Every structure is written in C-alpha cells, then in structure tokens.
Amino acid sequence: MNLKNLCHTQSYIFRAVHRENDLFFFVFLHCCFSRLFPSYQAELRLVVLGRPGAGKRSAVSTILGLEDSEQGTNAAATQECSKHRGEVAGRKVVVVSSPAWFGSGCNPEERRKHISSFITLSSPGPHAFLLCVPVNQPADEEAKSLDVLMKLFGPSAVSSNTIILFTHMEELEEDEKLDEYLVTWRKDLQELVERCGERYHTLETCSGEPGERKAVEELLEKVEQIVRESESQHLSCPLYQEVEERVRERQVEIVRQRKAEELKNDQESPTDSEPEENVTEEEMEAVREEAERSIGDLNVDIDSIFPPSTVSPSSPVPFFLLGLWEKLTSWVSWLPNLVRREALFGALVGLFVGGPVGGMLGATVGSVATEVGRRKTQQNK
C-alpha cells in the first residue's frame, strides 16, 4: 500500500471512529498505524530538559537552525514551555523545551505547571527526551531528573527514550575526547549515560556550522534508532494516553464552537448537537496547538514524586554547593603553577565546608587541582 492510499484509508477509518464518539479507540488506531506503517509517522517529537544554564536554548536553536530572537528573548519566554517546528535533514521535527522543574528552587505549583505543559505540548508522546548535561558540573540534579522521569512515565522513559546531551564542551581540553573524559574523570556523568542505555551526544563542535549540521543529523539518527527499537514508536504510557484524549476532545470542542459562531454570524441557528463527522482531521489539526495550550494543569501527584523534605525552598544547601563548585573550579583554573599544594588546597576546602560532604568535596577539589597542575605542566614542556 503506497503512502497516498494509506492516508486515505487512515482518514476514512478515523472519521468512522469519530462518529462513534470513541476517542480512546482513536488513540489505539493511531498507535497501530504508527507501528505498522513507519512512513505514516510524519514527525519526530523531542523534549529538551535541563537545569538553568545547561544550554537548552542553544540546543533548540542548533537542532532547528533558529535564531535566538525566534525563541523569544524576554524573561517570560525562558520561564514558559516552548514548542517549535522545523524540517531537519528531510524530517519534520517538533522540539518542546521546558524550564527547569526538578531543582530545589521550584515550588510545587510551578512544578505542576511546567510538567503539565511539556507533557501536553509533546502529546501523544515524545520519541526522545534530550537531557542537557553540562560537563563542568556535578550530576546530582540530572540524576534526580531521571528518577522523576521514571516515576512519571515508567522505567522505559529513561532506559529506552532518553539521550544525554552534553553541553559546555569548551571546558574540555582541545584534544580531549568526550568518551575518554567520562571514563577517566567523571564517573557520575558515566552513570547517567549507563542509565540511559549508553546513549549520549553533543551538538557542540569545533567545525562551525557544517559540523553542527552533521552533529544534528547524527542526533536524529540516534532518535530514529530509538524509534526502530521501540515497541510503540513513541513513548506511550497511561499519562500520555489520558492527555491525548483530552487534547482531541478539546480540538473537537474548538472546531464546533467556531462553526457555531460562523453560523451565528450568517444569521442561521446552529443545531444543539452538531454531527461529529463534520469535524475533519484537517480542521482538528489546525487548532491542535490552541487545544494543547488550553488543557490546563494535569492531576500529577507532585508530593509523591517530590517529597517535601527534599524540595523545601527554604533549604539553601543545593544552591550553596552548586555555587561553591563553580567558584572552586574557577579558582583552580587560576593556579597554573600548582604542583604540590593541590592536596592542601583540597583539605582546606574540606575543613571550610565541614562534615562528610566537606570531606568528599575536598577530595574532589584536590583531584581536580592535581589534574590541572599536571596538564599545565605537560603543556609547558
């Protein structure tokens, strides 16, 4: 069956389902067509996640070839979920970007809003989550975000549908390879990769725009590999199925309301119950994004996913440690002649912070300082 005949058959069956008012069966048929006929799946849906400053905006721009102004530059634009469409390497691509919602500085209502928004905008389900991870930061928040994805969508959301997208690659040495850096120095980042089925990538290259385009194509190939290995084409779970039903119901409502308004403007009396077969797929698709934006917050049990003891906004420890990490790494970069004082420097940091956390952090800083000194010495030879 060629694609044209397939689309006609699909449209006929879906209209018949609409006449029976069975939206659940519609979603089932949609999944069947996607699985049996890969050419029917016309677009790849990607959800970009990450902490503040992780490079989400840059990733979206690189994937779709957007200018910064096309994503919005005001503060409100960075605090709302966004949805952008484009054509990349012959494929239609939809990228949904969400503000950070898994850190300790986000209150429960903001979490519910952001989670509801990115789920609705990526319905009926994303083909891949892209978790932006800076190579120069500890991976605690990213590990928590993977835990949350598992609680929301099931284990396969992480093991089968997530790609780690490394950012801030300029922090690596010029001739240092990412895989060697992970194995040698960053066991915490390597653990993230292992949890995601060994899938990772970076869009940051030293080859300019041609290198970026190649990196994007390689990323889409990895997403398509996920699709080929998946049993349901895109991520499918009860939460996404519920959302898709609500979105389609809302699409029908919007189309009917507009038809009723047009009839009223024509001074004709609309019927109380307009036949659903008059609502076509084309009409519903035209109001898809409007329907998604009007769904509102979902009934997500935020308290069970984020226990209050771990997300209290009054606790400054996560932000304090993150800020301390950034300051210490910058201090270390200013010590090119450090040879035998690295251990002492780490010990001082451990005493300053105190407790078990101070000991671990001091050891880490000492190791980093030692490595910086070693590399500087090699470069000066």
Structure tokens at 118: 């990115």
Whole-Å CA distances, 52 to 104, 105, 134, 347: 12, 11, 10, 30
Mean pLDDT of 189-214: 91
Q: Is the pLDDT of residue 252 over 90?
A: yes
Could you give the CA distance from residue 94 to residue 234 in angstroms, rounded to a whole number? 13
Least confident of 63-77, 103-117, 274-288: 63-77
Could you give the CA distance from residue 266 to residue 188 in angstroms, rounded to a whole number? 65
Summarised one tens digit per residue, pLDDT across range 166-193 is 999 998 888 889 999 999 999 999 999 9
Confidence of residue 41 (pLDDT cuts 50, 70, 90): low
Confidence of residue 233 (pLDDT cuts 50, 70, 90): confident
Could you give the CA distance from residue 233 to residue 107 in angstroms, rounded to a whole number? 34
Mean pLDDT of 57-70: 86
Least confident of 56-60, 109-113, 208-212: 208-212
Task: State residue 339's pLDDT score.
Answer: 37
Q: Is the pLDDT of residue 63 over 70?
A: yes
H or E element at residue 36: helix 23-36
Could you give the CA distance from residue 262 to residue 256 in angstroms, rounded to a whole number? 10
Q: Is the pLDDT of residue 105 over 60?
A: yes
Percent of the chain having pLDDT more than 70? 64
Structure tokens at 304: 């069970």
Task: State residue 343's pLDDT score.
Answer: 47
Q: Is the pLDDT of residue 15 over 60?
A: no
Summarised one tens digit per residue, pLDDT across range 260-310 is 888 887 765 555 544 445 788 899 999 999 999 999 889 888 888 887 654
Could you give the CA distance from residue 171 to residue 72 in angstroms, rounded to a whole number? 27
Q: Is the pLDDT of residue 155 over 90?
A: yes
User: Of 365 and 275, which is predicted with more confidence?
Assistant: 365
Could you give the CA distance from residue 162 to residue 200 in angstroms, rounded to a whole number? 9
Look at strands 200-202 and 91-97 and give their pairing: unpaired
Q: What is the pTM of this model?
A: 0.70
Q: Are 298 and 116 in contact (CB under 8 A)?
A: yes
Q: Is the pLDDT of residue 20 over 70?
A: no
Mean pLDDT of 328-349: 45
**Quick count: other Cβ atoms within 10 Å of Cβ 164?**
26
Q: How do the domains of the chain map onto residue ranges?
A: 41-237+300-305, 316-380
- 68's CB contacts (< 8 A; 6+ apart) are 57, 61
Could you give the CA distance from residue 152 to residue 117 in angstroms, rounded to a whole number? 14
Q: In one letter, which amino acid is 273?
A: S
Task: State residue 267's pLDDT score.
Answer: 61
Task: State residue 279's pLDDT score.
Answer: 85
Least confident of 122-131, 316-325, 331-340: 331-340
* Eight-class DSSP state of 277: G
Q: Which residues pair with 44 in a beta bridge?
A: 93
Task: State residue 360's pLDDT score.
Answer: 62
Q: How many helices (H) and strands (E) does the chain have?
A: 18, 6
Q: Are 220 and 76 in contact (CB under 8 A)?
A: no
Confidence of residue 8 (pLDDT cuts 50, 70, 90): very low
Summarised one tens digit per residue, pLDDT across range 139-153 is 999 999 999 999 999
Confidence of residue 345 (pLDDT cuts 50, 70, 90): low
Could you give the CA distance from residue 42 to residue 6 in angstroms, rounded to a whole number? 13
Task: State residue 275's pLDDT score.
Answer: 45
Does the domain formed by 41-237+300-305 have CATH 3.40.50.300? yes
Confidence of residue 337 (pLDDT cuts 50, 70, 90): very low
Q: Is the pLDDT of residue 231 over 90?
A: no
Task: State residue 156's pLDDT score.
Answer: 93
Task: State residue 89's pLDDT score.
Answer: 87
State the average pLDDT for the chain: 76
Q: In one letter, which amino acid is 345?
A: F
Nearest to 227 by CA among 93, 326, 329, 117: 93
Mean pLDDT of 194-222: 92
Q: Is the pLDDT of residue 10 over 50?
A: no
Task: State residue 303's pLDDT score.
Answer: 82
Task: State residue 271's pLDDT score.
Answer: 52
Q: Which residues pair with 130 in a beta bridge?
A: 48, 163
